[in-house]
A and B are shown apart, each in its own frame.
Chain A
Amino acid sequence: MRIYFIFRRLLLLFPIIFGVLVITFIIGRVIPADPIHLFVGQEDDPAFIQSLREELGLDEPIWTQFYCYLKSFLKGDLGMCWSTRNPVTTDLGVRLPATFELIIVSLIVCVVLALPLGVLAAVKRDSISDHVSRVVSLAGVAIPGFWLGLLLIYLLFFKLHWAPPPIGRIGFRTPIDSVTGFYLIDTLLARNLRAFGEVWAYLALPVAALSLRKLAQLTRLVRSTMIEVLSSDYIQTAHSQGLKWRLINYRLALKNALLPPITQIGQMFGDLIGGAVIIELVFAWPGAGRWAVTSALAGDFAPIQAFAVICAVARVFSFLIADILYTIIDPRIRY
């Protein structure tokens, strides 16, 4: 039963990726006056440009172009990144794990902190701590992520020397045997606990800068859903049965309050990708976001396109996981 549902959802991937390709195609080839400059980067040899023009078929009618575009995509050819002189797929393979590690850790931090904070704010409603959390939530949403990152660097690295310098994922002198690309896993696999700790130290500031905004939003949502749930009849029944506070709030009420937050968590992945792009710049994080941006600045379009497709796919999966979690939590929902 559930397998069919998952399967149907995965089928959605096709039209969405198609849509993404259409859009990047329009942006990349239809909108600009002379699209060639988006694909040559810094090259200016006219012969080379001309041969590239032919190769990409930029003189052909739009429909043919799109057809070739699709064909090469399906073959797995995502183009070349001129700044690194590598095929896009190679560059992505190296950089994507860095970005995903950052995003996944941030996601976990957000969820793990937002749930208890939101519950507490709801239970201690209208108290001082509730008002404080409200102000913090509102502020958290308004702070620009890159500014926060810089502030954190200034305070915690420059002034207090607690955090490592913003030079990337790990110090220069620590060698890492990269098996999966996820340093947290790799250091554990190599049983190198010192390096493991160091990876965390380097992760701390970027994760903090990235997750604050989403943490604020999620806490707010958990709080308001909890407040609604706490005034419901079945919670009154639980109180009348003399059940313990912890049981009522953290199990009986919270489970009912989880549905809207889960929706938001599903969306969060996509939002975090956007935030990660900027945070990677601030912290010199060698991830796909930074790569896409620097390529864009160099006039290189293929990386952005590839990154966009990856993001779209990741999004579909995160929504899917959220929906699956729904069915686990709420027995009334059946697809």
Chain B
Amino acid sequence: MNDVRMIGRVNSSVQEASETILLRIVDLRVVFNTYLGRIHALSGIDLDLHRGKITGLAGETGCGKSVTAKTIIQLLPKTAMVKTGSILLDGEEMLRKSPAEMKGIRGKTIAMIFQDPRAALNPLFTVEQQLYFLLHRHEHLDRKAARKRSLELLRAVGIDAPGRRIRNYPFELSTGMCQRVMIAMGLACEPKLLIADEPTTGLDVTIQAQVLDLFRHLVYEVGSTAMLITHDLGVIAETCDYTGIMYAGRMVEFGATEDVIDCPLHPYTQGLLRSSFTGEDDDELHYIPGVVPDLLHPPAGCMFKARCGVCDKDCERAAPDMAEVANEHKVACFKAGTTQTMGQQREDVTVGRTDEASLS
């Protein structure tokens, strides 16, 4: 499940550990070899995670956010293959690590928490036991010390009566409490990087707010760097310092959250924001026309061109790279900057139109 196979050259030319950047991903390309063919899950991702900050990754289902996270922690399925790219954590190339080294890194240096906390906890073991396995493995604590530390952790995530809760099984806890336990496990070894994959999807809205608050608090307190994956822009706006928007396996926009939300440059981001924007004067439901491109046969040129309101011949010839437009605000669009306001939607875009170029 966790062997990353490499066939491209790892690009390890950018090396010095940066003061502000903890994790640097350069030109990451990942494919899945299925019986249907080769699915291009990631087609060249560049991403920098700032130390001590929370970076959000947003995009619709299937855009590659989870794949990015799983590649960092190397939990991809056997059918996955990293074609090329580089992931540098504190200057160290992660993709060169052996499986044994990665085992030591997972949970301790890089931790991950998942969606659906009820399912993510082992139903037949108590909270205490599950924390013990983790603490014993990385911090070599014995049962007594682990118990003490576990109680501290549970208190830190806001669980009342931790002495009782620690003996509970997951089915005896509420969903919100389960997610708190997951956060506690994620931060237990004070990891450098904490990845949260849709941690609040499926939780009640009120619980969502609590959990996000807690998450933010604890990440700052421990001093970790966090990557928060979600499809909900509201969550991003509330929690993240930086935001990256992904589409069809590519990064299309990145910047400080206020910049991206207040001044979106990529037509896709604009579309996303418009879709979730509850306009006071509009009663219409906005949406982005068209469907996500087929990752089995990705189109030449820009991935978004079939749905874009402002694309032209340039967009069909080549895929745009991320270019810095303003202070740390990057966007991958030839037309960025030409649409200052929330972009126009082309009236005559035909849904499902396919070009010769995309029938590769």
Contacts and interface: CB of A to CB of B under 8 A. Distances in A.
A45 B180 CA distance: 85
Given A240-B111, A241-B133, A243-B107, A233 B119 contact: yes
Contact residues of A: prevailing secondary structure: helix
Nearest to A245: B103
Contacts of B50: none
Interface in B58-106: 73, 75, 102-106
B133 A247 contact: yes
A235 to B, nearest CB: 8
B75 A236 contact: yes
Contacts of A247: 133, 137
Given A233-B119, A239-B75, A242-B107, A329 B124 contact: yes
A130 to B, nearest CB: 14
B121 A234 contact: yes
Contacts of A242: 102-108, 137-138
Contact of A240 (B104, B112, B121, B125): B112
Interface string A233-261: 11011111111100100001001100000
A331 interface: yes
B183 to A, nearest CB: 12
B220 interface: no
A238 B119 CA distance: 12
Interface in B107-161: 107-108, 111-112, 114, 116, 119-125, 133-134, 137-138
Contacts of B125: 252, 255
Contacts of B14: none
A185 B334 CA distance: 85
A261 to B, nearest CB: 14
Q: Name the residue among B73, B133, B137 with the largest chain A CB count within 10 angstroms.
A: B133
A256 B75 contact: no
A330 B133 CA distance: 19
Given A240-B75, A241-B137, A332-B171, A234 B123 contact: yes
A243 B2 contact: no
Nearest to B119: A233
A293 to B, nearest CB: 44
20 contacts: A232-B119, A233-B119, A234-B122, A234-B123, A236-B120, A237-B120, A237-B182, A238-B133, A239-B1, A240-B73, A240-B106, A240-B111, A241-B107, A241-B134, A241-B185, A243-B137, A252-B125, A252-B133, A255-B124, A331-B169
Given A240-B107, A247-B133, A255-B124, 18 more contacts: A234-B120, A234-B123, A237-B114, A237-B122, A238-B133, A240-B73, A240-B75, A241-B106, A241-B107, A241-B185, A242-B106, A242-B138, A243-B133, A247-B137, A252-B122, A255-B125, A256-B122, A256-B123
